[in-house]
Structure 1
Amino acid sequence: MFTYVCLGTNNLQRAVAFYDPVMAALGHQRCDTTSEPDWDGWVGWGTYIDEGRIEVALWLCAPFNNQPAGVGNGTMVAFAARSWAQVQAFHQAALAHGGTSEGEPGLRVHYGPDFYAAYVRDPDGHKLAAVCRGILSPTI
């Protein structure tokens, strides 16, 4: 469905310091753009190939119109987690690196009996979630 998701930031260095550990908690590494001459000011995580297509990555950059980056009311990016532990690690990493909590890790049974999620805001105010489905209790 998506080729990529791009979020605007007012401070790329601060955003990278937040997203590196948060995305690593979900198993995503930074995209390699070293062979891309026009990608200065862009940082991404997740899958990325481009000309061979398979994209689906989260990208951060300053807005193209040179105006301050803002957040959309009602906008949220939700990432898939493979376990409750990944959801918890996502939440902990976000809080440890300048994010704020918008919802502690836990079951949200109003979305389904297996909907385990945590919600945060990044340092620019973007709302993010990590969601694990298909598990009814934590595995030990």
Structure 2
Amino acid sequence: MIDHLGITVSDFDASKAFYDKAMAPLGAALLYMVPQEYTGGAKVGGYGRDRPVFWLHQGKDKPKDRQHVAFTARSRAEVDAFYTAAIAAGGKDNGGPGLRPHYHANYYGAFVFDPDGNNIEAVCHAAE
């Protein structure tokens, strides 16, 4: 249903450094930077596995509204690796890897806050 989405970040370079590391265990990377002549001078880049689906957009100020974004992990091991990489990249813990049976029996996720305080999650729905 969702083709792509984006969030505003206060420091593009700091967020890029965070997401470069956090996305790698999920098999995702920065795939495209929009030329700044098309963005009014703002840095805009898209992450994905085969095409950009998660976009960072440089804002002028720290965003006031925090967002929640959950990324699909292909295995529980990817969730674990995402969490480890995101914490090592400066993310703040918001719930370590584990089952969340209150969502459903096989919901295995991990949550971290990114540099702007957005709640970023990796989740695997497979029964492992």
TM-score, scaled to structure 1: 0.80
Does the CA contact (< 8 Å) of 2:33 and 2:43 recur in 1? no
**How far apart in 2 are the matches of 1:102 and 1:35?**
34
- 1:51 corresponds in structure 2 to none
- 1:33 corresponds in structure 2 to 33
Structure 2 stretches lacking a partner, 5+ long: none
- 1:61 corresponds in structure 2 to 57
Q: Deviations over 1:21-71 (max 9, x none)?
A: 1111111121133778525501210143xxxxxx6x1111123xx443233
The structure with the largest strand share of the pair is: 2
Q: 1:33 to 1:111 in 2, by over 3 A?
A: same
**How far apart in 1 are the matches of 2:122 and 2:32?**
23
- 1:92 corresponds in structure 2 to 84
**How far apart in 2 are the matches of 1:83 and 1:16?**
24
- 1:81 corresponds in structure 2 to 73
Does the CA contact (< 8 Å) of 1:120 and 1:128 recur in 2? yes
Give % identity: 36
Does the CA contact (< 8 Å) of 1:71 and 1:125 recur in 2? no
Structure 1 stretches lacking a partner, 5+ long: 49-54
- 1:20 corresponds in structure 2 to 20
Count of residue pairs the alignment pairs up: 125
- 1:133 corresponds in structure 2 to 125
Aligned residues: CA RMSD:
2.0
Query: Structure 1 residue runs of 4+, over 6 Å off?
Result: none
Q: One-letter code of the match for 2:30? A: R
Does the CA contact (< 8 Å) of 1:62 and 1:69 recur in 2? no
- 1:116 corresponds in structure 2 to 108
Q: 1:67 to 1:10 in 2, by over 3 A?
A: closer
Larger Rg: 1
Q: Deviations over 1:74-111 (max 9, x none)?
A: x4111110001100011011100110010010011111
Which of residues 64, 76, 97 is equivalent to 1:70? 64
**How far apart in 1 are the matches of 2:113 and 2:25?**
16
**How far apart in 2 are the matches of 1:43 and 1:32?**
6
